[in-house]
Amino acid sequence: MTLTYGKYGGRFVPETLIPALDELETGWREAQADPSFAADLDHLGRTYAGRPTPLTRTSRFATAKRRALHLKREDLLHTGAHKLNNALGQAVLAQRLGKRRIVAETGAGQHGVATATVCAKFGLECVVYMGSEDMRRQRPNVERMHLLGAQVRPVEFGTRTLKEATSEAIRDWITNVETTHYLIGSAVGPHPYPEIVHELQAVIGREAREQFVAAEGRLPEVVVACVGGGSNAIGIFSAFIDDAEVRLLGVEAAGAASLGTGRAAVLHGARSSVLADEDGQILDAHSISAGLDYPGVGPEHASLRDSGRAQYVHATDDEALAAFRDLTRLEGIIPALEPAHALARARELDDEYVLVCLSGRGDKDLAEVLART
């Protein structure tokens, strides 16, 4: 087993999936070598998705001491979260591979909506697996997926959240691998998925770096992002990994801190840092935000943690809710509950120059937040 991120990554999948992963890797390398792939994505980003997204300097949310806390506004991307960057790229890739059926998993529903959106745009069949607990708490996104023509299949076992939805999506893929592309929604899964998602989300970091330098004449001291599977975080971190003076801070949900309290184990096709017992049995996660409520994380983050290049901390449900309310009232921006975790830690920092990835908007979370107030 060749691992791809130090002792993490790899492919821990049934034999039947290896040819599909090989085909995907070949298709991905060819796409990367073909300038028309990048040009197509750039064009779609500008004319369909709303790239570049702006950078907003907060004025009231940051404490008086801090001069520059900037938000990278992925909440303003079409469909309301960073997930579209990845869904668009993988949909273009799937078509290059001749696949007309897409299967996906979703937690917060943002990846499901992004996938349903690109399938509508390109005329692809779309099946999205979603835990029934997540369908309850992210109702508006379920309705959006239906409107977009996707089939949303409820998953009723276990915690009825993202972990089980991912298992079901993988089962579907194994059964229909000839016709189907598995459009995974985060920087997780077997090789080459974490690399593909990293590259497709790297646009966040490229833009943010340029915008921050234009605004402040320097790099941020620290870049902060929430971490579920880790795609928005790796997207924004990627542009700063070589800048040793820029700290990278990932924020997990306290009840789903795969990097904070996890151990090396295999989940959903890759080895990473996972909430698991001594025998490698996966433990249940909990978070108010469906998008962070997952016991695993992308292997690249486990490697960045071990090398010390990035630090990972956590925020509780209550801290995220407080940051959600404050950003809403003080800046006129309603964030998703996922990036509210990043905001909760970012606002406590002593640094003057802070960049936060505001990965999505909070419309989907209103019922959940109102129920808690």
Catalytic residues, by residue number, are 83, 105, 359
Q: Binding of ligand PLP at residue 107 (CB under 6 A)? A: yes
Q: What is the DSSP letter of 75?
A: G
Give the strand pairing for 222-226 and 247-253: parallel
Q: Binding of ligand PLP at residue 231 (CB under 6 A)? A: yes
- The sign of the dihedral angle between the CA atoms of 190, 234, 164, 255 is positive
Residue 239 beta carbon to ligand PLP: minimum distance, rounded to whole angstroms: 16
Residue of 127, 169, 336, 340 that binds ligand PLP (CB under 6 A): 336
d(CA 133, CA 326): 27
Of 246 and 336, which has the nearer Cβ to ligand PLP? 336
Q: Binding of ligand PLP at residue 205 (CB under 6 A)? A: no
Dihedral, CA atoms, 15, 19, 24, 27, nearest 10 degrees? 160
Of 159 and 179, which has the nearer Cβ to ligand PLP? 159
Q: Binding of ligand PLP at residue 192 (CB under 6 A)? A: no
Q: What is the DSSP letter of 243?
A: -
Residue of 49, 93, 108, 127 that binds ligand PLP (CB under 6 A): 108
Residue 360 beta carbon to ligand PLP: minimum distance, rounded to whole angstroms: 2
Interacting span for ligand PLP (CB under 6 A) from 144-152, 228-236, 270-278, 310-318: 228-236
Residue 168 beta carbon to ligand PLP: minimum distance, rounded to whole angstroms: 17
Of 172 and 252, which has the nearer Cβ to ligand PLP? 252
Of 124 and 334, which has the nearer Cβ to ligand PLP? 334
Interacting span for ligand PLP (CB under 6 A) from 24-32, 221-229, 268-276, 306-314: 221-229
Enumerate residues 37-96 that contact ligand PLP by CB under 6 A. 81
Of 195 and 338, which has the nearer Cβ to ligand PLP? 338
How many binding residues for ligand PLP (CB under 6 A)? 21
Site map (CB under 6 A) of ligand PLP, residues 239-278, x = contact: ----------------------------------------
| Residue environment code for 296-320, b if the CB has 16+ CB neighbours within 10 A, otherwise e | bbbbbbbbbbbeeebebbbbebebb
Q: Binding of ligand PLP at residue 227 (CB under 6 A)? A: yes
Of 70 and 198, which has the nearer Cβ to ligand PLP? 198
Residue of 291, 295, 296, 299 that binds ligand PLP (CB under 6 A): 291
Q: Binding of ligand PLP at residue 111 (CB under 6 A)? A: yes
Residue 324 beta carbon to ligand PLP: minimum distance, rounded to whole angstroms: 12
Q: Binding of ligand PLP at residue 359 (CB under 6 A)? A: yes
Give the strand pairing for 353-358 and 68-73: parallel
Q: Binding of ligand PLP at residue 229 (CB under 6 A)? A: yes
Q: Binding of ligand PLP at residue 230 (CB under 6 A)? A: yes
Of 176 and 311, which has the nearer Cβ to ligand PLP? 311
Interacting residue ranges for ligand PLP, rule: CB under 6 A: 81, 107-108, 110-111, 186, 226-233, 291-292, 336, 338-339, 359-360
